[in-house]
A = this chain, B = another copy of it.
Amino acid sequence: MPELRKDPIISRWVIISTERGKRPHDFVVEPEVTKGGFCPFCPGNEHTTPPEIMAYREGGGPPNSAGWKLRVVSNKFPALVNEGELDRRGEGMFDLMNGIGAHEVIIEFPQHNQTLSTVSIVQFADVLYAYRDRIRDLSRDPKFRYILIFKNQGRAAGASLEHSHSQLIGLPIVPELVMEELSSSMAHYRLKERCVFCDMIRQEIQQGVRVVLENDLFVALCPFAPRSPFETWILPKQHHSSYVDLHDDSFPKLAEIFSETLKRLDAALSRPPYNFILHTAPVRETKLEYYHWHFEIMPKLTLMAGFEWGSGFFINPTPPEDAARYLREVQLEGTTAP
C-alpha cells in the first residue's frame, strides 16, 4: 500500500511507493564523462576567472596567484549584479526590483579530479568554513536579506564546469521555500514552545529507522516525507537557527559526517549527480528559537516530471526507511561490512 506522508515542517504531502519501492540498482546513473580541456578553476589559470573575493592560502601569497587551498570568485555569468540600486517598484499590480545581488563561485579545492566525496576531511572542512565566512561577510551589507548556498554535482544536476565548486547567491529577498519553513516552524513553536526540527531529530534518533549516520554533534537522516529517492538531510543536534553560529571546533565534525554521507551515496548509487542546499535563517535574523539550520542533499535519480515542481506534489518511489538502510549497510571502499 503506497502512503501519503506529510513533511513535519511545511505542509507538503508526498506519495511514497512502499510496495514496489525502487532499490539502488533500479536507478540508472549515467557515469560522468570527463570532458577534459581547459579549466578556469585549475591552479595556474587564476587570471581567467573574475578577481578573487576570498581565498585560503597556506602561508599567504598574493591574490589571484596559485598556491591556494580554496578560492571564491564572482560568477563570470552572474544571475544578479552587485552594482546599482534595488529600486523596488510596482508595474500596475506587479512587483519587481532590480536584480541586485551577489553570485559567487566557491572553487572548493585545487585538484581537478577530486570531488567532495574523495577529498580529505580537512579540505571538506575548509569548504564548510568558506560558506560561513562568505555569509558573514555579505551579511554586513544591508541590501542582502538571504544568502543561498548550494552545490550542483554532475552535469545532470546542473553543473556546467567539472571542477568541483559550490555557488552562493546573495538575495535582497527571502526565497519562498525558506519563508514557508520559517512561518511553519514558527507556528509549531507558538503551539508547543519547541523547535519542530529539534522534535524531529529527537524522534528520528529514538526510532532509528531513517538515520544514516550520527556523531555527537550531527545526524544524517532520510526525512520522513522526502521529495526524491535517497534525499538526505544533515542537521546539527544542538539548536541553532543560523549556520554562522556553528562553533569553529564543530566544523571538522560536520565535514566528517557530510563526507561519509556523500561517500555512502556514491557507493550505493554509483556516484550519482546531486544537489545540496544549505537551509539557514535569513541574515541578521539570528538566534531564532523556532528555526534550525541544516543541509538538504538530493541525488538526481529520477527524471523529475515538470508536473512535480509545477504542482508542488511529489511521487517518490523509494521509502526513506529503505534508503537509510541501504546507505547504512553499503560497504565503503577500504572498510569491511558491519
Interface residues of A (CB under 8 A from B): 1-6, 8, 10-13, 15-18, 20, 77, 79-81, 84, 91-99, 101, 148, 150-152, 156-158, 167, 169, 171-173, 175-180, 196, 199-200, 203, 207, 224-225, 227, 274-275, 277, 296, 298, 300, 303-313, 315
Chain B hits for A91, CB < 8 A: 224
> Given A274-B306, A306-B300 in contact, is the A4-B175 Cβ separation under 8 Å?
no
A6 adjacent to B96 (CB under 8 Å): yes
Complex CA gap A172/B10 in Å reads: 18
Chain B hits for A4, CB < 8 A: 80, 96-99, 101, 171-173
B298 adjacent to A177 (CB under 8 Å): no
Chain B hits for A92, CB < 8 A: 203, 207
B200 adjacent to A277 (CB under 8 Å): no
B300 adjacent to A94 (CB under 8 Å): no
Closest approach, in angstroms, between the C-beta of A266 and any C-beta of chain B? Answer: 17
A179: contacting residue among B11, B16, B80, CB under 8 A: B11
Chain B hits for A298, CB < 8 A: 306, 310
B224 adjacent to A310 (CB under 8 Å): no
Complex CA gap A312/B203 in Å reads: 27
B175 adjacent to A311 (CB under 8 Å): yes
Complex CA gap A53/B93 in Å reads: 44
Chain B hits for A11, CB < 8 A: 176, 179
B12 adjacent to A158 (CB under 8 Å): no
A15 adjacent to B150 (CB under 8 Å): no
A313's nearest neighbour on chain B, judged by CB, is B175
B80 adjacent to A2 (CB under 8 Å): yes
Closest approach, in angstroms, between the C-beta of A243 and any C-beta of chain B? Answer: 15
A10's nearest neighbour on chain B, judged by CB, is B176
A311: contacting residue among B101, B178, B308, CB under 8 A: B178
Chain B hits for A96, CB < 8 A: 3-6
B178 adjacent to A94 (CB under 8 Å): no
Complex CA gap A96/B93 in Å reads: 39
A158 adjacent to B310 (CB under 8 Å): no
Complex CA gap A84/B298 in Å reads: 32
> Given A1-B84, A4-B172, A175-B313 in contact, is the A152-B275 Cβ separation under 8 Å?
no
A17: contacting residue among B17, B79, B97, B173, CB under 8 A: B79
A152-B305, A156-B303, A275-B305 known, 16 other contacts, Cβ within 8 Å: A4-B97, A4-B172, A11-B176, A13-B171, A15-B79, A20-B77, A94-B224, A148-B307, A148-B313, A158-B305, A158-B306, A176-B313, A177-B313, A178-B311, A275-B306, A275-B310
Chain B hits for A275, CB < 8 A: 305-307, 310
Sampled A-B contacts (7; CB under 8 Å): A2-B98, A4-B80, A4-B99, A6-B95, A11-B179, A13-B175, A150-B311
Chain B hits for A81, CB < 8 A: 1-2
A97 adjacent to B3 (CB under 8 Å): yes
B176 adjacent to A1 (CB under 8 Å): no
A80's nearest neighbour on chain B, judged by CB, is B2
Closest approach, in angstroms, between the C-beta of A200 and any C-beta of chain B? Answer: 7
B312 adjacent to A157 (CB under 8 Å): no
